[in-house]
A and B are shown apart, each in its own frame.
Chain A
Amino acid sequence: MTQAGDLRAAPIWAELARISDPEIPAISLVDLGVIGSVSVREGLARIELLPTFIGCPAVEVMRQRIEERVGALELVDAVDVAVTFRPPWTSERITPAGRERLRLSGFAPPPVGPAIPEAASGLDELAVLPIAECPYCGSRNTALENSFGPTLCRAIYHCADCRQPFEQMKRV
């Protein structure tokens, strides 16, 4: 991130930190780690957006929100949002504050540790998506129900203690 490197971009970062993720409104785009870089030059703000998953349908909503909200800032005349996979978004990009916000809104944050290996074969689901801590009661007595969920980036678990289904953001 160029957050510290470009003081003129600071108001843009601040605004991006107030834009919610379209699918999990409790977390901002900055805490989700999908903002790759921000620069501003002669009124043109350039923002790199890193999709969580390549086919994520929320990307276009994020782009529109960024264009509207950043475009409304006084120092900005035009906004250029570039979607890129360099660097790839990984679940490690979620900030500590973002992980806490996920938990507070009923989502287990992704497992910590390195992103899943790119050379993948013979992997065990539970090695990639280990037992998640229930975001409601904190129990570890939970089970992976489905490594695919209602959005591309989420898996479904069940808590045997509070009997509550919950979702975990996947490790990628």
Chain B
Amino acid sequence: MTGPQADGTGQVVRELDVAARDALAELLLSVADDEFVIGSWDSEWTGIAPMLEEDVATSSIAQDEIGHARAIYELLATLTGDDADRIAYGREADAYRHAALLNHRRGDWAFSVARRWLYETADAVRLAALATSTWEPLAVLAGKMRREETYHRMHADAWLSRLAGGDHDVRQRLAEALGRLWPDAQQVFAPLGGEETLMRAGILPQRMSALHAEWLGIVRPVLEPIVGALPDAAPSPDGRATRTDDFGWLHGELTMVGAADREALW
């Protein structure tokens, strides 16, 4: 893979001490894995989405997300002297650090809409913070990502209100999916091991707990008219550490080519 290079990264990397570098690597991996896994799940709809326009839209969004993942894996690779292809495809399933929200297979269309809306709203809050990071390569990339994610947000909003205004069966499926995903959605804001270090360096401009509170303030007023009162649920320190059989299956699909041919390029 020869993707975007973050100019100036080398200099910044030298200025980071080992603890800050490790903490930054953890942060980058969490964001990149989120984008990689949701893009991979959504690409499962290519060819079989409920209508042709949606097939195009979902596929385009999936391509955006995997492009974002690639750019962040590239940044991470410059930081750790690793290889972006290896990070993307060369890990065991339990080494991925996506949030528990992304552990589930795509389900039916209502389930996919519910998850995408929960993810897009959380991602928007996170990206707004990262765009003000003191680590410039991340701030620049997050700023660019936000412009593209705007279209994802609009799309997710449109589908959520469309299904919420549908007939009884549609509303019920949507509400069930939102209720089922709610605890796992909190885990996009799972505390990071190196969070104190990141905060001190300004690399993470706000604590995950603060971003979580901001997100709750945005999503509760939209969701509660659809699903009723949502229980309090908190991000957990292992919110990015647990893997499921669903993800094990996806991981097998994603790594099939790489496992068959170690020299394969994506």
Contact = CB atoms under 8 A, between A and B. Distances in A.
Interface of A: 51, 53-57, 59-60, 63, 82-86, 88, 90, 115-125, 128, 145-150, 152, 156, 170, 172
Interface string B55-75: 011011101111110110000
B148 A123 contact: no
Contacts of A54: 4, 64, 67-68, 70-71, 141, 144-145, 148
A170 B151 contact: yes
B147 A172 contact: yes
A84 B154 contact: no
The 8 A-B residue pairs with the shortest CB-CB distance, nearest first, are A55-B67, A120-B150, A148-B57, A148-B60, A83-B4, A85-B144, A88-B144, A118-B146
A128 to B, nearest CB: 7
B149 to A, nearest CB: 7
Given A83-B4, A84-B7, A120-B146, A148 B151 contact: yes
Given A83-B4, A85-B4, A86-B7, A147 B147 contact: no
Interface of B: 2-7, 53, 56-57, 59-61, 63-68, 70-71, 124, 128, 131, 140-141, 143-151, 153-155, 157-158, 218
Contacts, number: 109
A53 to B, nearest CB: 6
Contact of B67 (A53, A116, A149): A53
22 contacts: A53-B64, A53-B148, A54-B4, A54-B68, A63-B2, A83-B3, A83-B4, A86-B7, A88-B143, A88-B147, A90-B147, A116-B147, A118-B128, A118-B147, A118-B150, A121-B124, A121-B218, A146-B56, A147-B57, A148-B53, A148-B61, A170-B151
